[in-house]
Amino acid sequence: MAAILFGPLADGEYDENINLLEIVRGYPAPTGASVHEFQSTRQFPMYGRLRLRFISPEEFKKAVTVDSPFIEEIRGQYEILFDQRQFAGRLLK
């Protein structure tokens, strides 16, 4: 549904962390965003670490509505990479 790069890399600044939020329809996470961290490996060399977070559209909408700290972190520096029907973009404005 949507993919959002957030943090310093979204503004073109160097950072060892790649923070990516994936809003996935039908994602079964009733207790909030699930975070997966990937470090550099031989098969997937990169600088730093990839932090991939998954959240359902309903959870994202609720987090925006209550101005959660996670949403405030995203609003600080973000770039929308993909946004089906401008779902995330409309909510983050």
Q: What is the mean pLDDT of residues 7-35?
A: 82
CA–CA dist 26, 12 (Å, integer)? 32
Secondary structure letter of residue 80 according to DSSP: E
Beta bridge partners of 23: 2, 55
| DSSP designation for 1 | -
Confidence of residue 31 (pLDDT cuts 50, 70, 90): low
| pLDDT per residue as tens digits for the range 34-59 | 677 776 667 666 677 888 999 999 99
**2-92: CATH number:** 3.30.460.10
Predicted pLDDT of residue 20: 93
Beta strands 49-55 and 17-23: pairing type?
A: parallel
